[in-house]
Amino acid sequence: MSVSQRDNRGRVPIFNSVPPGVGIILLGVLGVYLIEFALPGIASWIRQAGVIYLAESHIALPTQPLGSFAPYLLHVFVHFGFLHVAMNSVILVSTGREVEAAFGPGVRGMTGFLVFFFACSVIGALTSVLAHNGDPTAMAGASTGVSGLIAAAGWVRGGWRGMASLSLPWIGLNVLIGVSNMFASIPIGWMAHIGGTVAGAVLFPVLLALFRRVAD
């Protein structure tokens, strides 16, 4: 299935013409990062509310002020350092622009994009939680949703073959990270990335068809 045609003429820099759905997530990510410098007290509360804590069932987890489900949505806005923010922001914008455009213009396109992004984020986070087996750790970052965007961008660029050409290398890289973790701890949520990518590969054509049907 080829979702759309791309015209490579007249390309614009990836940070130009950011659509509203992408812009909302990007502003949230950058805003939370800047709050850490300007308002450390508020930043601490945001981290407590948004970070997903991974631990065995018998280990007590920190109390989270907005409840145990909120981090599955809010973790996308919390990052661990500048490089973490920069990497996710670049991929968010570079893939998110074309994915949101595929959902259509205006409020419909923005809504479809946000539903898709956060669905991938929740599924990616759940994958990491369910697969966790080891020392207590914390997980956060937009890479759960961004991983879904990688798969969706592949659908947009070249149907299922395009999706596979982007998704499989990303999944393979994360499998290698997971294998490497057996020898040296690497603080990367590789299972969350895989879960988000698989969710994006499956959900994008379904949600795209749903939102296009609503528009008709």
| pLDDT value of residue 216 | 57
Number of domains into which the chain is organized: 1
Residue type, 190: W
Q: Write a three-state SS string for 155-185.
A: HHHHHHHHHHHHHHHHHHHHHHHHHHCCCCC
User: What is the domain extent for residue 166?
Assistant: 20-215
CA 149, chain centre distance (Å): 7
Residue 215 CA to residue 137 CA, distance in Å, equals: 43
| pLDDT value of residue 159 | 95
Nearest residue to 203 via CA among 109, 119, 95, 103: 119
162 inside domain: yes
What φ, ψ does residue 137 adopt, rounded to 5°? Answer: -150, 175
Cβ proximity of 206 and 127 under 8 Å = no
Helices (runs of H) and strands (runs of E) counted in the chain: 7, 2
| pLDDT value of residue 57 | 65
2 inside domain: no
| pLDDT value of residue 6 | 44
Tokens representing 116 are: 């898709």
For residue 111, what is the domain's CATH number? 1.20.1540.10
Nearest residue to 82 via CA among 29, 38, 121: 29
114 inside domain: yes
14 inside domain: no
pLDDT per residue rounded down to tens, the chain (216 residues): 434 444 444 444 555 589 999 999 999 999 999 999 999 999 999 999 999 988 766 677 778 899 889 999 999 999 999 999 999 999 999 999 999 999 999 999 999 999 999 999 999 999 999 988 777 888 999 999 999 999 999 999 999 999 999 999 999 999 999 898 777 677 788 999 999 999 999 999 999 999 987 655
| pLDDT value of residue 16 | 59
Residue 65 CA to residue 54 CA, distance in Å, equals: 17
Model-level pTM?
Answer: 0.89
199 inside domain: yes
